[in-house]
Structure 1
Amino acid sequence: MTQPPWSKTSWQQCTALQQPNWPDKKEFAQVVDTISQLPPLVFAGEIRELKKELAMAAEGEAFLLQGGDCAEAFSMCTAPAIRELLKVILQMAVVMSYAGGKPVIKVGRMAGQYAKPRSADTEMVGGIELPSYRGDMVNGIEPNIEARRPDPERMLKGYYLSCSTMNLLRAFTQGGYAALERVHSWNNAFVKNSPQGQQYEKLARQIDQAINFMRIVGIDTDIPQLKQASFYTSHEALLLGYEQALTRQDSTTGDWYDCSGHMLWIGERTRQLDGAHVEFFRGVHNPIGVKIGPNHDIDNVKQLVRTLNPENEPGRLTLITRFGAKKIGDGLPLLAREMKKEGFKLVWSCDPMHGNTYTAESGHKTRNFDEIMNEIRSFFEIHWSEGTVPGGIHFEMTGENVTECTGGGRKILDHHLAENYLTNCDPRLNAEQSLELAFQIAELMREK
């Protein structure tokens, strides 16, 4: 199909859902213009490298690990918080690659995950109707009218905090912190004495022995593959003014890239074929993810794939399925079968979080570890059965010792949730639960 001409502003001619009702449109335009003149957060060459790695995941030669906060909070943009989350992702990746036998592509929901979609423009808080909290890049979570007023200056603050996060991530991953000889130091203090922590330490000793053996036989271990880690960032690209401002034309290829993050995804609420988000992202050359839930229309998904990846380029498009443990068996087999029949080159990733959310008796929104793992196991088994590739996992997780998801080795129960429930948004796996999942996923990776 011949598509109409694209520009980084052509989305403005389409209906843009989930955009804040900015009270001062002139101030909003000024902030977008300011951000458009600031340096990019990521670079076209890095984005192309990620796309190459994702092309390997589409063929089953690598595995995508994508994880981080549901919605980043400005207050958590601190060196300790960033380091703790990075540590858990590095731990999970080393477990999955060493025990699972494949390279693991590390993508954080970091350095830009500051906005969130909402089901309604207003919400009731303490009997008062207030504008919905849409993430720190839009408004404040405090339950009063002034805090909930959408403020474009928050986009500018979000840019600067994302810049700080990227700076720290690059320092950690390229400056020696992510070296494989430091695998022991990644083990969080509160995880170390757990069964998962002890299992991890055993694996870390095996890695130490392998590196030492390489030195003994004269193999150079002072190489980037052992001393550094490739780490990429991603977020749900919700605020199109912000994304437009950070979209730049690459001087070497002439292609357009959204330089707010390496990988962006479109959520279930904003993936309309004639909508502004699909229009915007069909024209940038980043790897794109699309969330697909149980109420999808297969013909609509096929059209989405053709629109967002007309050249059928491997690594360009990731379908992130979010069915829930109880519905994945009904929804995923036919979807996988039909996409395979069309010959689409896709990365299949599983979001086992969103479809397994429930409200505990305490009133806390939570997710159960066993249900999360059940959906992951079904995801693998269905793809094996359909002859397609289970290529990745998409988690909401944190490096903090939170009690937000039930179950896991520590057997967190509903009545434990209040002990350390910190999220502003959806419940996240803590480091111990994340590591436990990594070991179980590694076993599934080995099975095929």
Structure 2
Amino acid sequence: MKTTTTTTTTTTRATGAAAQQPEWSDPEALEEVRRELRSRPPLVTEEECATLAESLERVARGEAFVLQGGDCAERFREANAEETGRKVDQLHSLSGRLRAGSGAGVVAIGRMAGQYGKPRSESWESAPGGGVIPTYRGDAVNGPAAEPGARFADPTRLLRAYDCAGRVLAAVRASWEGREAAERVHVSHEALLLDYEYPLARDGATGRYASSAHSVWIGDRTRSVDGPHVAFASSVANPVGVKIGPSIGPAEAVHLSTLLNPGAIPGHLTFIVRMGSARIRRLLPELVGEVARRGTPVVWVCDPMHGNTMRMGTGVKTRPMEAILEETTAFVRILRSLREHPGGLHLEMTPQDVTECVSAPRPFSAPPPLSRYRTACDPRLNAEQACEVVERFAGML
């Protein structure tokens, strides 16, 4: 990584408990898995991470935009060249649309090769036959089948996650052939499972880095300033992100920026805004203003997905396209009004022909049953819907 990055990277001391961690079924097996992960080769290289960092510097200078997207929760069964190729092709296609619409460069980052763990609002859910079972927390933890045998937290799944990430990365790297470094797709995921992330941290030529992905982010549920997730993100030289939801205040946002980007390095830290269309106009302007005045540099990116989730009567989650487009529009207008760069989009999307996000004009009401609902966790944009969001963003520029 760049010397300027690593010489200013500091480690935040974690005093709080780690949130959103599984209750692993076998502590001894977990320790064996951690030892095995420490012994394995890095999934990504220090040089690859540095290439992404250079591209994100261009975003910080207002010369490019980020397009970060992919599955809500990756599945082990899709860790193959064909499925990965379709996802990479979707990112390239959308990047081309954004590039054409904005007249600027685009940094494509996939939610892939590691998005195998998921934070959840509840630890338990109702079982189809009665009683309760543990919540599905991603393929790196347990299985999605609604039965007790699939839902116990198995630490050996962390090794499968590593193997699957390696296969996905091989396909991603194959897509780099013939492309300039600035046009390549890089990979990212939420650094949620600390029993996976810490063993895969490596010492590079210029400092410590996360070898699990080119970039990692901290979720809205785990961004406590004194928590171990922020401590991990502050200890590595990779570009890092933080999901910024409606519960954060300006002082906390400023504090996070100084913890995670103490060297004020352009492009090192991304704030991924997920306020929801009903709150963004009220909450975001003060956050942006305070961080600009008192914090360190951040790239502002819009996640118009997570703050616009609603449940149907059956309990199935969906997201109204109208709300997604509203938040995208508001994000760009707010950043422009404050003379800050609207740095890009962070989307949960798939090239599959799914019906998971829906058209539901205000007042939002429950849509009819969704015929092609395939996500393992949260609803994703299909190819046509993802194009619509990217074109709305580009059109605002």
TM-score tier after normalising by the smaller chain length: over 0.9
Q: Distance in 2 between matches of 1:336 and 1:31?
A: 41
Deviations 1:180-206 (A, max 9, x none): xxxxxxxxxxxxxxxxxxxxxxxxxxx
What is the aligned partner in structure 1 of residue 396 from structure 2? 444
What is the aligned partner in structure 1 of residue 151 from structure 2? 148
Tell me which of 183, 196, 204 is aligned to 1:242: 196
Of 75-84 and 165-174, more deviation after overlay is shown by 75-84
3-state SS, counterpart of residue 282 of structure 1: helix
Q: Distance in 1 between matches of 2:212 and 2:301?
A: 22
Output aligned runs, 1:170-249, within 5 Å.
170-174=173-177, 224-225=179-180, 229-249=183-203
Q: Distance in 2 between matches of 1:343 and 1:307?
A: 10
What is the aligned partner in structure 2 of residue 217 from structure 1? none
Q: Distance in 2 between matches of 1:31 and 1:440?
A: 45
- RMSD of the alignment, in Å? 2.1
Higher helix residue share: 1
- Scaled by the length of structure 2, what TM-score is found? 0.92
The answer to whether the Cα contact below 8 Å between 1:81 and 1:399 also exists between their aligned partners in 2 is: no
1:427 aligns with 2:379: yes
Task: Please report how far the alpha carbon of residue 80 of structure 1 lies from its aligned counterpart in structure 2 after TM superposition.
Answer: 2.8
What is the aligned partner in structure 1 of residue 28 from structure 2? 26
The answer to whether the Cα contact below 8 Å between 2:10 and 2:234 also exists between their aligned partners in 1 is: no
What is the aligned partner in structure 2 of residue 190 from structure 1? none
Tell me which of 325, 331, 341 is aligned to 1:379: 331
Tell me which of 72, 75, 79 is aligned to 1:73: 75
Deviations 1:10-55 (A, max 9, x none): 76x7521111111211110110110111111111111111112112
Q: Distance in 1 between matches of 2:356 and 2:369?
A: 6
The answer to whether the Cα contact below 8 Å between 2:329 and 2:392 also exists between their aligned partners in 1 is: no
Q: Distance in 1 between matches of 2:316 and 2:353?
A: 17
The answer to whether the Cα contact below 8 Å between 1:362 and 1:415 also exists between their aligned partners in 2 is: no
Number of residue pairs aligned between Structure 1 and Structure 2: 385
3-state SS, counterpart of residue 358 of structure 2: coil
Deviations 1:78-132 (A, max 9, x none): 3332122211111100111122101000000000000001123222222321111
What is the aligned partner in structure 2 of residue 353 from structure 1? 305
Task: Please report how far the alpha carbon of residue 439 of structure 1 lies from its aligned counterpart in structure 2 after TM superposition.
Answer: 2.2
Deviations 1:261-294 (A, max 9, x none): 0110001111111111111111100111101111
1:135 aligns with 2:138: yes
Which runs of 5 or more residues in structure 1 are unaligned?
177-223
Q: Distance in 2 between matches of 1:317 and 1:395?
A: 18
Q: Distance in 2 between matches of 1:356 and 1:432?
A: 19
The answer to whether the Cα contact below 8 Å between 1:51 and 1:315 also exists between their aligned partners in 2 is: yes
Q: Distance in 2 between matches of 1:342 and 1:274?
A: 20
3-state SS, counterpart of residue 329 of structure 1: helix
The answer to whether the Cα contact below 8 Å between 2:9 and 2:261 also exists between their aligned partners in 1 is: no
Output aligned runs, 1:91-102, within 5 Å.
91-102=93-104
In structure 1, give the amino acid aligned to 2:244: I
Q: Distance in 1 between matches of 2:10 and 2:182?
A: 41
Task: Please report how far the alpha carbon of residue 5 of structure 1 lies from its aligned counterpart in structure 2 after TM superposition.
Answer: 7.8
Runs of 4+ in structure 1 over 6 Å off? none
The answer to whether the Cα contact below 8 Å between 1:88 and 1:434 also exists between their aligned partners in 2 is: no
Tell me which of 101, 104, 119 is aligned to 1:117: 119
3-state SS, counterpart of residue 278 of structure 1: helix
What is the aligned partner in structure 1 of residue 358 from structure 2? 406
Output aligned runs, 1:316-331, within 5 Å.
316-331=268-283
Instruction: Give identity over the alignment, percent.
Output: 41
Q: Distance in 2 between matches of 1:300 and 1:434?
A: 32
Task: Please report how far the alpha carbon of residue 313 of structure 1 lies from its aligned counterpart in structure 2 after TM superposition.
Answer: 1.0
Deviations 1:134-180 (A, max 9, x none): 11000111122221111111000010000000001111232x5xxxx
Q: 1:163 to 1:379 in 2, by over 3 A?
A: same
Q: 1:264 to 1:129 in 2, by over 3 A?
A: same
- Scaled by the length of structure 1, what TM-score is found? 0.82
Q: 1:330 to 1:5 in 2, by over 3 A?
A: closer
Task: Please report how far the alpha carbon of residue 418 of structure 1 lies from its aligned counterpart in structure 2 after TM superposition.
Answer: 2.4
Q: Distance in 2 between matches of 1:343 and 1:422?
A: 41
Deviations 1:189-236 (A, max 9, x none): xxxxxxxxxxxxxxxxxxxxxxxxxxxxxxxxxxx44x9931110000
1:165 aligns with 2:176: no
Q: Distance in 1 between matches of 2:309 and 2:182?
A: 36
What is the aligned partner in structure 2 of residue 388 from structure 1? 340
3-state SS, counterpart of residue 87 of structure 2: helix
User: For the pair shown, which has the larger CA radius of gyration, 1 or 2?
Assistant: 1
3-state SS, counterpart of residue 123 of structure 1: strand
